[in-house]
Every structure is written in C-alpha cells, then in structure tokens.
Structure 1
Amino acid sequence: MLTLTAFMAIPLYYIVVSAFKMPIDMAQSPLGLPKNWTLQNFATVFATSNVPRAFANTLIVTVAGVFFQVAIGSLAAYGMILHKGRLTAAVGTVLLVAFCIPMQSTLIPLYRMEAALGLVNSLAGLVLIYLGGAVFCYFLIVGYMRKLPLDVLEAARIDGAGPFRIYRSIVLPLITPILTTVVVFQTLATWNDFLWPNVLLSSTENRTIVLQVYNAVGQFTTNWPQFMAVTVIALVPVTIFFLFCQRWIVAGLAAGSVKG
C-alpha cells in the first residue's frame, strides 16, 4: 500500500511543485523543488482567466445539487420505510433498474430534454441533471434507515406527530452519520464532474472549475506552470473538504451495518 500510495502521489507532487516554478525551472528540473518559489503563476491566472467566476459557478452548482440530492434521497428512503407495500416495492425496483443503467446511454435523451426546456448552457440545467444522483443517495440512506428502531417512529405517531414532523425531529438526527457520508461522496462527485459541464455548458461565463482547467490547456499551452496553477486552484478546496470530512465516511457506512 505504501508503494502504491507513493506511485499515486507522484503526479500530485508534480502538479503542486510545478505551480510554483518558472517555465525554465520546470524544463530543467521537472520533479525537483523550485529554485525560487513564486506566486506569479497564480497571480497571472487570476488576472488573465475566468477562474474566479468558474470557482463561484462550481460552488453554486455543488451546493445546490448536493442539497437537493440528499433531500430527495432521504425523503424517498423515509417514504419507503414508512409505507411498505406493492407500490413502494415497484418504485424501488424501478430505481434499482435505473441505477444500473450506464449514465452515458442516457446522455442524448437527457440533453434533448434539457434543450426542450431551454436549460442548456445554464447552471440551473446542470443542477437539474445532477438531481439524478438522488438515486445513489436513496440506496445508501434506505439501507441505514432499515436499522432504525421503528418503535420510536410509531410512538411519535401515537403522540400526534405528523410524517414531516417525525422526519424532521426524529429521523434526521438518527441518520446524521449516513447523511454526512452521502454529502461527502456527492460533493466530491459533483465538484470533479467533467462530462455534464462539457456537454451542457458552452459559454465562458458558465464554466465550472474543472471545465476551466480543461480549457486552460489551450490558453496556457506554452506556459505549463500557469496551467498547473489552475489545476491546484481546482484541487485545493475539494482536498481540504475531503480531509476534513474523511473520518465521517467510514463511520457513517459502518454505523449503518450494525443494528443498535
């Protein structure tokens, strides 16, 4: 594992170190440390490219997309647990089949639907596409909810609490571990997604940060340190987020596998 980790860390090291080099230093010593550390590449990137706007777009899409994915997924799981019957079993089967279908096979139909609604090249249309991730959230959360003590929910119902009151006051606090895990997974997937922004977004003003990195290949083709600086800007927020939340990932999944 240490050998594999070192192998995987080499590209990351190369990107980060190169972002602080001048072009001549990068050419002379690709893997060596910079002779003179400089922030000029970052200053040039912010001054000559659309990185701040792309960063803001990605933040908006990620926050909105993950919020609605988790909300829809948790409510769907709650409904499945609360009302078991033939209808919910049929819906669960449809969701399972839909989850197994490769996303690429639905790309053209989804694009045509977005075009018919006038949502192509808009952040709202991108968020709408990401709502499909609610199915993944549902499958993780419903497995966790099956471990909840249903007697507590029944007691709250006898005391006069309605379905949404039970969901808000009892269910949400009990499923916090798996919710945190789902939020981490979906945040990483949404922030790093390249396929859908590349398909749906065409204008410079609506680019996400990953799409900005892709387009920076042509913009900074003769200045690789500046391209590496754009890459570092895209990596830093999601890396910090993952390092901060990683302890909840395994904890949430493990908690859902043990009853009581």
Structure 2
Amino acid sequence: MTALTFRTRDRIRFTTRSIIMIGLTAAMALPLYYVVVSTFKTQAEMAASPFGLPSTWRWENYATLLMTGSIWQSFLNTLVVTAVSVLFQVLVGSMAAYGMILRRSRLTAAIGAVMLIAFCIPMQATLIPLYQLEAQLGLVNSLTGLIIIYLGGAIFCYFLIVGYMRKLPSELLEAARIDGAGPFRIYGAIVLPLIRPILTTVIVFQTLGTWNDFVWPNLLLSSNEKRTIVLQVYNAMGQFTTDWPQFMTVTVIALVPVFIFYLFCQRWIVAGLVAGSVKG
C-alpha cells in the first residue's frame, strides 16, 4: 500500500506539473502564433479574425520587404555592429578578469569595487552625458559610435567571467609561469580554452542583447542607411495609420536570425552556467 501510495502521489505531481507547464507554454506561444499568422493576412482579415488562420496564405508581405534594399542594409548594419561589439566586449571583459586574477592586490580590489559601482548605475542615467560625449567626438549617426557605446557591455562580461576564472587551478597557471610562459601566452593558450563554456554563454547573452537593442540605435542613428533591424520594426509603424501585416512581417524577419542563433547555442548556455556553478 505504501509503494502504491507513493506511485499515486508521483503520478499526481507529474500530471500537475505537466498541466502547468503546458499551460505556461501555450500562454507564451500565443503572442508568437499571433505575430506569425498575421504576416499571411490582409488588414481586413486581421481585424475580422485576429487569431484565426488566414483564408489564403499570402507571401506578398515577405516578398515586398525582401525586395527592398533597406531591409538588407539594416541586416548588414546590425550584423556588423553586433559582431564587432560582442567581439570586443568579450575580449576586454576576459582580459580584465584575467588581469584581476593574475595580479591580486589592493589596487585591483579597488578597481573591481569601482567597476561594481559603475555596473549598478542605471543605463537611463547615462543617456544624456554619453550622447553629449558622442556628439562632441563627431560619432553621432555612425555605426562606429554605436559600437563604442556597446563596449560598455564589457563590464557585464567581466563580472560573469571573473567568477568562473577564480575557480581555475592556480597551480596550472603557476606551472606555466615557471616554464617561461608570459602572461599573454598563458591567457591565450591556457586560460581561454579553460573558460570556453562561460565565454560561449557570455557571447550568447551579449549577442541577443545587442541585436535586440532599441534605445541606443534610436538615440544615435538618424539616417535611413544607418538603421538597425530593430529600427526598421519601429519605423514600420506610421504616425496615423499602420499596415499591421507589414509590421508583423518586419518583426518576424527581425526575430528569425536571433531565434535560430539562440536555438543553436542553447545547449552551450546551459553547459556554461552549470559548469560555472559546480567547477572546483
């Protein structure tokens, strides 16, 4: 009877969890379903049946957008900004973390405290001074200026990486130093391969954040040829009227690359976080 009772309880718990998870999944998938299905409808069909399937699956919205050069230019701009920004964020963040681990002193502890305080400052508090600085340097309305702004994300990379890096065996680094390896040789040949899981996690987080960012591109970029893909979504809304199927289509096109990227890298995100939590 006891074993049977335990099995019954386990089945009830499993069934309850399954029902809750299915319900949460359906609630989260409903907006995505609405957006995707709306791209195949006309304006009238969206108003008449928001969640219904279209009577005829129309690809005109996708064809119209993909045939315009502005969407491809926006994709290229976003790709360049994201790739260059994330590369330098991870490089600067990992090198800063390595420097903190390599030379532990009161100075590095003070620098770490300053970076922690800076990390706690809300982004909204820095919008005006950073914009003024970029304007004085002539970097407004340029992808270079946007990339420089995103380099501030290196501090987030630093805090994720330094915690992982502290768990590296100090004997290994000391042995490499005794064998004559310099700090850059140790960093490139030993440290980077050992912290690959957390590097992958950081790259995924920063890529998603940079690709989907709206605030800084909207603040710094004004010309059409410099727009990012998120700005294309925003500009698809008219001042008085909006072609909602067209708007949904732009949204889907903007989401597809980052969605595929996340699905491809999802296992490395989990592996990096788990490895960082149990290592050492």
Q: Distance in 2 between matches of 1:105 and 1:162?
A: 41
Please tell me the residue identity of whatever aligns with 2:246.
Q
Mark the structure with the bigger radius of gyration: 2
Identify the residue that residue 245 of structure 2 maps to in structure 1: 225
Q: Distance in 1 between matches of 2:68 and 2:182?
A: 55
Identity %: 73
SS in structure 2 at match of 1:217: coil
Determine if the alignment matches structure 1 residue 64 to structure 2 residue 84: yes
Q: For structure 1, which segment, 240-249 or 135-144, has the greater mean C-alpha deviation from structure 2 after superposition?
A: 240-249
Identify the residue that residue 73 of structure 2 maps to in structure 1: 53
SS in structure 2 at match of 1:88: helix
Contact 1:210 1:234 survives alignment (8 Å): yes
Identify the residue that residue 278 of structure 2 maps to in structure 1: 258
Q: Distance in 2 between matches of 1:4 and 1:160?
A: 56
Please tell me the residue identity of whatever aligns with 2:257.
P
Identify the residue that residue 101 of structure 1 maps to in structure 2: 121
Q: Distance in 2 between matches of 1:49 and 1:224?
A: 21
TM-score, normalised to structure 2, is: 0.90
Q: What is the CA deviation profile of residues 110-157 of structure 1, one whole-angstrom value per residue up to 9, with x for unaligned ones? A: 001101110000000000000000000000000000110111111111
Please tell me the residue identity of whatever aligns with 1:84.
R
Q: Distance in 1 between matches of 2:63 and 2:115?
A: 47
Q: Distance in 1 between matches of 2:225 and 2:263?
A: 30
Relative contact order (C-alpha < 8 Å, sep 6+): which is higher? 1
SS in structure 1 at match of 2:50: coil
Identify the residue that residue 121 of structure 1 maps to in structure 2: 141
Q: Which runs of 5+ in 2 are unaligned?
A: 1-20
Contact 2:176 2:186 survives alignment (8 Å): yes
**How many angstroms does 1:3 deviate by?**
2.2
Contact 1:144 1:256 survives alignment (8 Å): yes
Q: What is the CA deviation profile of residues 144-203 of structure 1, one whole-angstrom value per residue up to 9, with x for unaligned ones? A: 001101111111111111101100000000000000000000000000000000100011
Identify the residue that residue 179 of structure 1 maps to in structure 2: 199
**How many angstroms does 1:107 deviate by?**
0.7
Q: Distance in 1 between matches of 2:237 and 2:69?
A: 12
Determine if the alignment matches structure 1 residue 150 to structure 2 residue 179: no
Aligned pair count reads: 260
Q: Which runs of 5+ in 1 are unaligned?
A: none
Q: For structure 1, which segment, 2-11 or 61-70, has the greater mean C-alpha deviation from structure 2 after superposition?
A: 2-11
Please tell me the residue identity of whatever aligns with 2:65.
V
**How many angstroms does 1:25 deviate by?**
2.6
Q: Distance in 1 between matches of 2:210 and 2:268?
A: 19
Return closer, same or farther for 1:47/1:157 CA change in 2, 3 Å cut-off: same
Contact 2:217 2:228 survives alignment (8 Å): yes
Identify the residue that residue 108 of structure 2 maps to in structure 1: 88
Describe how 1:209-220 pairs up with structure 2 within 5 A: 209-218=229-238
Q: Distance in 2 between matches of 1:190 and 1:227?
A: 21
**How many angstroms does 1:48 deviate by?**
4.6
Q: Distance in 1 between matches of 2:57 and 2:237?
A: 23
Q: Distance in 1 between matches of 2:75 and 2:24?
A: 31
Q: Distance in 2 between matches of 1:64 and 1:22?
A: 39
Which of 195, 199, 217 is the equivalent residue of 1:197?
217
Which of 13, 16, 32 is the equivalent residue of 2:52?
32
**How many angstroms does 1:47 deviate by?**
3.4
Contact 2:236 2:242 survives alignment (8 Å): no
Q: Distance in 2 between matches of 1:226 and 1:99?
A: 39
Describe how 1:2-21 pairs up with structure 2 within 5 A: 2-21=22-41
User: RMSD of aligned C-alpha atoms?
Assistant: 1.4
Q: What is the CA deviation profile of residues 31-74 of structure 1, one whole-angstrom value per residue up to 9, with x for unaligned ones? A: 11122112110111233572111111000100001000000000
**How many angstroms does 1:223 deviate by?**
2.4
TM-score, normalised to structure 1, is: 0.96
Please tell me the residue identity of whatever aligns with 2:267.
R
